[in-house]
Structure 1
């Protein structure tokens, strides 16, 4: 049986999508690690990435009528996920993604692809404090007949937001949905704990988690 979490971490490290060092995040925080899904930029890479997302969707057994990718990094991911669901699981789901700016000519609007429909699964790459997801909800919530079934990301950093509250729990409570990740920070720590040459990076992760991580009891 495939250990999907370990395989995804190995894949991300090999492609240097997951890196260790000193990074400034969009949230303003300084982090000892960074996840850049934009480095999955070949056909083989993005095809493999879609398989991980498709597996997460199927394993979750969450009802879905349309996949919604958040611009910009969620666009290739949602496309590849839809392809994998069809190819590997015989599940044919429509997908759409948003524009950053409203198009005022041609077909107009902010959506490309399928329209919103009943139960939506939102696809993005990383959740830190949840800012991108909150921003995307503004036009989704204008549709009263739409339900957000789940939000699926590659990496949940398991951090608190600016109010010292779990970012994921806040998102789940605000939008009455489930946040699912392929891996989270605890999975990464578990993986690094088995690698003697990664002790320095592991220590940095522990220090960062003490400062920004959710309450320790939530990890287990």
Structure 2
């Protein structure tokens, strides 16, 4: 699920997820420097889904969005490091909902003893769905695609928690497309996001709490400067 950055469309699942991320302290507002060197008025840190209750709830959002998307996949692949926990947690939730799929992940460095290699978990085969928190530059996705194809399997899509819907930064220059659009158009993979920047804006627009609603102008200005159209 990706949406036009200028559209107000949202849905209940996305709104519930944004509220959950704010309550959990994972989505914060202020001034943060991004990897691209931009000053962003919000910051999403999935590493702060750091206890059993929060991780379990996050897995529910992923699983519900995936099942609603209709995307066909045979297994999950979690790129190191955040993707490892996500793949395990979401596979548990999918099984609870009646779709039991295997999962695998990679090591950053190959193991030269025991089972060896860089891949851990179930055999990588069939239609493989890559799971991560966000797509910042597409590097992790490209690396995952290479590992999946080397194993003889087919990458079929990527699922993420938040699509920032902003221009990718390539060699310090703003690209006309986002990292998600690059994955969709250039790598040919479907991208399923639990929520997008559009959903975040809709959430802020509906807030009566001034501590949250006061962040709306800065987030809107950021989108106007760096946002992409789909």
Asked if 1:34 corresponds to 2:43, the answer is yes
**Partner residue in 2 for 1:194:** 206
> Which has the higher relative contact order, 1 or 2, with Cα contacts under 8 A spaced 6 or more apart?
2
Cα RMSD after superposing both structures:
1.7
Q: What is the rounded CA distance, in whole Å, between the counterparts of 1:36 and 1:167 in structure 2?
A: 17
For 1:120-199, what aligned pairs fall within 5 Å after superposition? Answer: 120-143=128-151, 145-161=152-168, 162=170, 163-196=175-208, 197=210, 198-199=212-213
Q: Residue 220 of structure 2 aligns with which residue?
A: 206
Query: Residue 137 of structure 1: CA displacement?
Result: 2.5
TM-score w.r.t. the length of structure 2 is 0.86
Question: Structure 1 stretches (4+) deviating beyond 3 angstroms?
Answer: none
C-alpha separation in 2, matches of 1:95 and 1:69: 8
Question: Secondary structure at the residue paired with 1:176?
Answer: coil
Q: Which runs of 5+ in 1 are unaligned?
A: none
Residue 105 of structure 1: SS of its match in structure 2?
coil
Q: Deviations over 1:12-60 (max 9, x none)?
A: 1111000111212233332111111111111111111111111111111
Structure 1 pair 115–26 and aligned structure 2 pair: CA distance change class (3 A): farther
TM-score (norm 1): 0.90
Match of residue 58, structure 2, among 30, 49, 69:
49
Q: 1 or 2, which has the higher helix percentage?
A: 1
Alignment gaps of 5+ in structure 2: 1-10
Counting matched residue pairs gives: 213
- Using the TM superposition, give the Cα deviation of residue 141 of structure 1 relative to its aligned residue in structure 2, in angstroms: 3.3
1:86 aligns with 2:95: yes
Cα deviation per residue 1:94-140 (whole Å; 9 max; x = unaligned)? 00111112222221111110121110111000123323222333322
Equivalent in the alignment of 1:106? 114
